[in-house]
Amino acid sequence: MFGIKFYKADSSTYVIKTVNGTVRRQGKGLSFFYNAVSTSIAAVPINVQEAPFIFNLQTADFQSITVQGQLSYQIADPVKTAEMLNFTLKPNNSGWLSEDPLKLADRVIRSVGAVIQNRVENTSLRDALRLSQELADNLRARFRTDAAFAAIGIALLDITISAIKPTPETARALEAEAREAILQEADDATYARRKSAVEQERMIREAELQTELSMQQKEQEIAESRLSNERTLLRASAETERERLQASIEAETQRQSLVALETDNSRQQSEAEGFAIAARMNAFKQLPVEHFKAMAMAKMQPEQLMAMAFESLAQNAGKIGELNITPDLFGQALQKAVRP
């Protein structure tokens, strides 16, 4: 009615209300009544925008690759952006009058693509395929202070490179080459393992031979030590036997000397006894027999004296005329004979 309308923006939209060419109100999430005849409204989205991209590029060695990724940007200065680009809404608020808001993401992607293309064109295929993280870091550093983005009030928040892929034919060639390299490495590993096994076997054999040689040397040393000990024992035994024989010889020599001395002493004693006996016999030869008898009878018992008396009577029986013997003489002798 009379051209009066109501407008309400959400919190992620920066609104600039212009009446007859003069800015009357601006801010986030505004709501107001306005005259559609004299008022224009610019609505600038200030939330974070996501824009995926994919570039078909050519490397320094003329190989085609595909770079895929995504970037995040935000309109940091909506007033400056509204001055550089047309964000004015249609009279019925159903959309923008121009295509500038819709082309903003393409503008950002083209700027990023130009930097990526410049880097890829100066890089070989193999290096380009490993460029994801480095390229993303360089882009963040490059556009953080980019003058072109600052001029239109845009700030690049983040950028990621999700994939860098060659063409299918190139990928198969690289896979074949990589596969051959892996197989070659596997063969080299097999040869190295065999060589290591042979080397280990040789080392084990050398160790066994060294151990056997050491054992033989030890056995030889033990045998030599045993022979040396046996020789030492034989020498000690011979020395002991020699000392024993020497001691026996000395003992026999001393015994011989003792026997000779005893023989000499016995001979001298016998000679002395013979001389004494001879002297006594000479003395006895000079004495009459009666003296010997008298000396013998001096030590006899009465019975022995009676026996000698009867023997003398028997020897001189022819000279005896008559002999009287009383019983008392024999009684005393018989009593002594039967006494216990």
Write the pLDDT tens digit of every residue in 228-287: 888 888 888 888 888 888 888 888 888 888 888 888 888 888 888 878 777 777 766 666
Can you name the residues that pair with 42 across neighbouring β-strands? 16, 88
Selection from 59, 5, 60, 76 nearest residue 35 by Cα: 5
pLDDT at position 172 is 86
pLDDT at position 53 is 92
Q: How far apart are alpha carbons 283 and 280 in whole angstroms?
A: 5
Q: How far apart are alpha carbons 76 and 150 in whole angstroms?
A: 9
pLDDT at position 67 is 93
Sites in the chain below the pLDDT cut of 50: none
pLDDT at position 70 is 93
The answer to whether 30 and 6 are in contact (CB under 8 A) is: no
State the DSSP code for 89.
B
Selection from 111, 90, 87, 89 nearest residue 100 by Cα: 87
**Cα torsion 92, 93, 97, 103: sign:** negative
Q: pTM (2 decimals)?
A: 0.52
